[in-house]
Structure 1
Amino acid sequence: MIALFTIIYVLGIWLFYIKMRIKPTPTNVAIAASIGFLTVGLITVLWQFSSPISRNLVVNRYTVQIVPQVKGPIEKIYAEPNEPLKKGKDKLFEIQKTPYQFTVNQLRASLEAAQQTVEQLSASVTVADAAIQIAIANEAAAEAQYQSAKDAENSLAGTIGAVQLEQYKQELLASNSSIDEAKASKLSAIAALAAAKSTVESTRANLDNAEFNLEQCTVYAPADGFVTNWQVREGSMAVSFPFAPMGTFIDTTEANVVATYGQNVVKNVKAGDQAEVVFKSRPGEVFAAKVVAVIQASGDGQFTTSGQLIDASTIHSSGQFAVKLKLDDESATTAMAMGTTGMATIYTGSGRPFHVISKVTVRIQAWMYYLLPF
């Protein structure tokens, strides 16, 4: 459109000064120049706000820092750098399992012993129940014997004798004590059984944790992707420390296309607006896209909590907002390498006649990537 206006403008000047033979004067020359300048400026402003262009576009992916959950020397590294891996199927590396296997074996033996103790104490409770029943039966027999002897003595003095009657009485008191003793033994057995069951549960939990640690000795791919930046070799000590990652895993299941625009020109940009994208790695190709969102956050506006007051001189902003785009051809996004750059233009709902400028510009840029290696 600017080129078209320039042609029309030049044609008008030619007609005005050459064909119509109007003598140039400072006044009409200034007016003609002002018309051209203001018109081009107006077209440029309307163009930028109706279909803004960004030459700062990048394809980014999520990364995972490889940090094991257990420590130990690395016995085997399976993953080759930059080779594709499948989530949960392909191994990254393996940590020495021997000490973790020893712990599992020990806890399995402890669990078996604790379970046997529970069985023994369960039997003790059963035995205590039987002892109580025997003591109750003995008490009933002793009481019957004592009561019979007492009745006989009351009926006919001297039949039993005071000494024998006292002996029956003491046997009855002893049988009462036997019941109390049997009940106390049962309570003790029940308490010991509860403690043994608690030991079983605690040992089982420790065994589960030990088996989990044993499983963690083999580290699998956390997602579909590949490993880059390996920092270890076989024999290196792996530690569960987030600030010392063993390498970086690139997640290839999702790729984001993000472009930055001036905060003023995204005024009319809305989710769902049509867009076109070109990449340096794919010269000559133009990809249709849509706006996902204008990201409502910027690192320039983030304040870090600390014990110091904010220094006013450190407050600044680049004046840019990030816009997330989604290509209509999602497979093309997946195929793009992380860090791929390019250019994007967004076609807003306003100023549609000016969209043609961006359409021409983005196609020219796509072909220019053949010629410009930077």
Structure 2
Amino acid sequence: MIAIFTIVYVLGIWLFYIKMKIKPTPTNVAVSATIGFLAIGLITICWQFSAPISRALVVSRYTVQIVPQVRGPIEKIYAEPNAPLEKGKSKLFEIQKTTFQYTVNQLTASLEAAKQTVEQLTSNIAVADAAINVAIAKEAASEAQYRSAKEAEDSLAGSIGVVQLEKYKQELLGAESGIEQAKASKQSAIAALAAAKSTVEATKASLDTALFNLDRCTVYAPADGFVTNWQVREGSMAVPLPFAPMGTFIDTSSANIVATYGQNVVKNVKPGDRAEIAFKSHPGQIFSASVITVIPATGDGQFTTSGQLITTSSVRSTGQFAVSFKLDDDSLGPEMAMGTTGMATIYTDSGKPFQIISTVTVRIKAWMYYLLPM
């Protein structure tokens, strides 16, 4: 567009001064220069706001710091640095399982013993119930014996005797006491059974924890990707500390494509706008994409909470907003290396006649990547 206008403008100047033989004067020369300057400026402004271009594009990926969940010496390393791995299937490394297996065995035996204790105490409750029934029957027999003896003594004094009657009475009291004792034994057995059941549940929880720890001795890939910055060796101690990672895992299941633009030129950009991207790693190629969003936050506007007051030097901004993109071909995302750079142009709904400038520019840049190493 600018080139076409320049050609037309030069042609007009040639016709005006050469063909029409109009004598240049300070006035008409100034008017001609002003017209050219304003026209070029207007085209540039319309171009930048209708199809903004960014040369600060990068492909980023999520990274995971590899930190084990259990402590122990590393027995075997399976993953090779920068080799593709599959989520949940590819092993990274294995921590020695011996001590964890001992704990599982011990808790398994403890659980069996606790279950047997529960069964024994359940039987004790049944025995206590039987003892209560026996005591009740004994109390009923003693009561009948005492009542019969008392009635006989009341009818005929001396037929039973005071001593014998007192003996029957004491037997009745003993039978009543036996009932209370049997009931107390049952309550004690019930309490012991509840405690034993709690022990079973606690042992189960401890065993589940031990099994979990045993399972976590084998560390798998957290996502599709690869390990880089591999810091482990067989025999080294794995420690579950977040500030001492074993390596860095690069997630290749998705790629984030982000470019920065001036805050003023993204005023017309909205999600879904068509875009074209040229990657430095793929010179000569243009990739179609669409805008996901203009990211509504920037680190320039973030203040860290502290006891220090905000200073004027801390209030600054580059005046840039980040825009995220999605490639139309989903299969290309996982292929893009982390840190890939390039340029991107966005085609908005405004000023479409001026967008040809960006279309040509992004293609020239794509071919220039063959020549420019930086």
Q: Same fold (TM over 0.5)?
A: yes
Per-residue CA deviation, residues 106-125 of structure 1 (Å, 9 max, x unaligned), is: 11111111111111111111
**1:308, distance to aligned residue in structure 2 (A):** 2.5
Give aligned-pair identity as a percent.
Answer: 76
Per-residue CA deviation, residues 76-117 of structure 1 (Å, 9 max, x unaligned), is: 110001111111101000011111111111111111111111
Residue 239 of structure 2: aligned partner: 239
After superposing on structure 2, the runs of 4+ consecutive aligned residues of structure 1 that deviate more than 4 Å are none
Distance 2:344 2:44 in 1: 17
Letter in 2 for 1:152: A
Give runs of aligned pairs for residues 25-174 of structure 1, distance below 5 A: 25-174=25-174
Distance 1:74 1:26 in 2: 85
Residue 333 of structure 2: aligned partner: 333
Distance 1:315 1:77 in 2: 48
Distance 1:155 1:136 in 2: 28
**1:310, distance to aligned residue in structure 2 (A):** 2.2
Residue 353 of structure 2: aligned partner: 353
Residue 264 of structure 1: aligned partner: 264
Give runs of aligned pairs for residues 183-222 of structure 1, distance below 5 A: 183-222=183-222
Distance 2:194 2:306 in 1: 51
**1:217, distance to aligned residue in structure 2 (A):** 0.5
Distance 2:310 2:227 in 1: 39
Distance 2:255 2:150 in 1: 100
Per-residue CA deviation, residues 47-81 of structure 1 (Å, 9 max, x unaligned), is: 00000000000111111110111111111110001
**1:338, distance to aligned residue in structure 2 (A):** 0.8
Distance 1:291 1:281 in 2: 21
Distance 1:134 1:213 in 2: 52
Residue 16 of structure 1: aligned partner: 16
Per-residue CA deviation, residues 202-252 of structure 1 (Å, 9 max, x unaligned), is: 011011001100100000000111111111211111111111111111111
Letter in 1 for 2:67: V
Residue 304 of structure 2: aligned partner: 304
Structure 2 length as normaliser, TM-score?
Answer: 0.99
Distance 1:344 1:129 in 2: 85
Distance 1:332 1:368 in 2: 22
Distance 1:359 1:208 in 2: 61
Per-residue CA deviation, residues 6-49 of structure 1 (Å, 9 max, x unaligned), is: 00011011111111111112221111111111110110011000
Letter in 2 for 1:33: A
SS in 2 for 1:243: coil
Distance 1:109 1:20 in 2: 110
Distance 1:191 1:265 in 2: 76
SS in 1 for 2:267: helix
Residue 319 of structure 1: aligned partner: 319
Distance 2:332 2:208 in 1: 44
Distance 1:91 1:57 in 2: 34
Letter in 1 for 2:318: S
Distance 1:237 1:311 in 2: 45
Letter in 1 for 2:333: T
Distance 1:36 1:231 in 2: 63
Residue 369 of structure 1: aligned partner: 369
Letter in 2 for 1:166: E
SS in 2 for 1:99: helix
**1:256, distance to aligned residue in structure 2 (A):** 1.2
Distance 1:42 1:35 in 2: 10
**1:311, distance to aligned residue in structure 2 (A):** 2.4
Distance 1:215 1:373 in 2: 49
Distance 1:209 1:311 in 2: 51
Letter in 1 for 2:159: T
Structure 1 length as normaliser, TM-score?
Answer: 0.99
Letter in 2 for 1:206: S
